[in-house]
Amino acid sequence: MNIINRISKSLALFAVIGALGLSTIASAHEGDCPYCKMKLVQNTKEQDNEVVLKTGNKRIEYRCMYCVIKDQGRYQSDLIVYAPSEKVGEPVVLKRTGGKWTAPEGTVFLNTFKKHADCAALSRAFSSKAAFDAYVAKHKVEGAKALTLAEFIAAVAKPAN
Residue 160 has what pLDDT?
A: 64
How does pLDDT run across 42-99, given as a tens digit for each residue?
A: 888 888 888 999 999 999 999 999 999 999 999 999 999 999 999 999 999 999 999 9
Nearest of 105, 82, 109 to residue 94 by alpha carbon: 82
Contact 54, 107 (CB under 8 A): no
79-105: b (≥16 Cβ within 10 Å) or e: bebbbbbbeeeebbbbebeeeebebee
How does pLDDT run across 102-159, given as a tens digit for each residue?
A: 999 999 999 998 888 888 888 999 999 999 999 999 989 998 999 999 999 999 988 7
Q: Does 13 fall in a domain?
A: no
Q: Does 21 fall in a domain?
A: no
pTM: 0.77
Residue 26 has what pLDDT?
A: 43
pLDDT-derived band at 9 (thresholds 50, 70, 90) equals low
Q: Does 114 fall in a domain?
A: yes
Indicate whether 13 pLDDT > 90: no
CA triplet 140, 143, 147: central angle to 5 degrees?
Answer: 105
- Ramachandran angles phi, psi of 108, nearest 5°: -130, 160
Q: Does 87 fall in a domain?
A: yes
Overall domain count for the chain: 1
The CATH code of the domain that includes 111 is 3.30.450.410
Q: Does 145 fall in a domain?
A: yes
Residue 122 has what pLDDT?
A: 86
Host H or E run for residue 58? strand 58-62
Q: Does 26 fall in a domain?
A: no
d(CA 6, CA 12): 10
Q: Does 34 fall in a domain?
A: no
Nearest of 58, 41, 132, 142 to residue 92 by alpha carbon: 132
Q: Does 18 fall in a domain?
A: no
Question: Domain limits at 61?
Answer: 51-157
